[in-house]
Amino acid sequence: MQILDSHLNRDHLEVIFKEAAAFEKSPYIVTGAQRIILATVFYEPSTRTRLSFEAAMLRLGGNTISIPDAKHCSAEKGETLEDTVRTVSQYSDILVLRHSLPGAAKLAQEFSECPIINAGDGSKEHPTQAILDLFTIQKHFKKIDGLKILISGDLMFGRTVHSLLNLLENYEVEIWVDSPKELKLRGNWTIHECATTVGSPHPPAAEILKQVDVAYMTRMQKERWPVGMTQKPPYFSINKNNVDTMKEDAIIMHPLPRNDEINISVDKNKRAKYFEQAKNGLYVRMALIKMVLGL
């Protein structure tokens, strides 16, 4: 099994969810994992993704080596991604890579002596985040089919959204998207657009918020914007004034880090699932490491 992008089918996902749920119940050392070395090579900042992968490997009984700031490592001396991957993959059994170049994980796999896991490639994909997002949804609702989902924020540059939309293609869901018009989603997914994206007469995000089961919020990806685009355009947020307009059983998700698209006053609301979502990342990544290594 490879996780270079989010082209996983429903069967794959169900196996991952089952494994992750088992790890959540009882984190245990997997036979054969004790000798494993997982390398994390991150050319972009990370808190949750890198540390949950490393924690997952340690929980499975293996070890980790890491270049947390690869941009300022040998890359600063002119080393290419290919050469770094060639080298690090000789020291490890599995390599988790984050890079700003779309398609970086696939490129790296060509030069790697061990399996690569894509931990984010520019604004293109972040498949393991999307898997843990779906695991969180499945855990809460005990299903994914039939749900109504609002995805809001910087949909042009937010990679987690692109991977999530790919995985949601496996299910019968109704998806609404909302973004500033400068940061619209590009791609061929079956979606409905809110007014903040396309202008009236479409319903505004505030109206759709009242109807959805899942509100998936994302931050403005300022670091990826074209030169010259410096001012944040107005965008939708969840705050103390609108959170209780949501359905009782609805959940609010965010890949994190959040800015002000979810006000901190919402954190104690029963619908706020974003920190639990981050915790689920540990179990999902334990499952993924086990499966990629065939343990």
What residues are annotated to the active site?
Answer: 48-49, 77, 98, 126
Query: With binding defined as CB under 6 A, does residue 255 bind ligand NCD?
Result: yes
Q: Which is nearer to ligand NCD, 100 or 211 (CB)?
A: 100
Nearest distance from residue 78's CB to ligand NCD, in Å?
A: 26
Query: With binding defined as CB under 6 A, does residue 277 bind ligand NCD?
Result: no
**What DSSP element (H or E) covers 108?**
helix 104-111
Binding mask 177-216 toward ligand NCD (x if CB under 6 A, else -) reads ----------------------------------------
Tokens representing 23 are 């790890």
Query: With binding defined as CB under 6 A, does residue 273 bind ligand NCD?
Result: no
CA distance 242 to 261: 12
**Chain-centre distance of CA 284, in angstroms?**
11
CA distance 209 to 132: 22
Minimal CB distance to ligand NCD: which residue?
255
For ligand NCD, the binding residues in 218-237 under the rule CB under 6 A are 218-219
Q: How many beta carbons lie within 10 A of that of residue 23, not counting itself?
A: 21
Nearest distance from residue 95's CB to ligand NCD, in Å?
A: 17
Is the N-terminal amide bond of 257 cis, ω within 30° of 0? Answer: yes
Query: With binding defined as CB under 6 A, does residue 40 bind ligand NCD?
Result: no
Q: Which of 140, 142, 284, 288 is nearest to 216 (CA)?
A: 140
How many CA atoms lie within 13 Å of 123's alpha carbon, on the beta-carbon side? 19
For ligand NCD, the binding residues in 104-143 under the rule CB under 6 A are 120, 126, 129
Query: Residue from 136, 160, 196, 197 that binds ligand NCD (CB under 6 A)?
Result: 160
What lies within 8 Å, CB to CB, of 291 at 6+ separation is 1, 15, 16, 19
Nearest distance from residue 159's CB to ligand NCD, in Å?
A: 5
Q: Which of 295, 280, 289 is nearest to 96 (CA)?
A: 289
Query: With binding defined as CB under 6 A, does residue 84 bind ligand NCD?
Result: no
Query: With binding defined as CB under 6 A, does residue 280 bind ligand NCD?
Result: no
Task: Report the interface residues with ligand NCD, using CB under 6 A.
Answer: 48-49, 120, 126, 129, 159-160, 218-219, 255-256
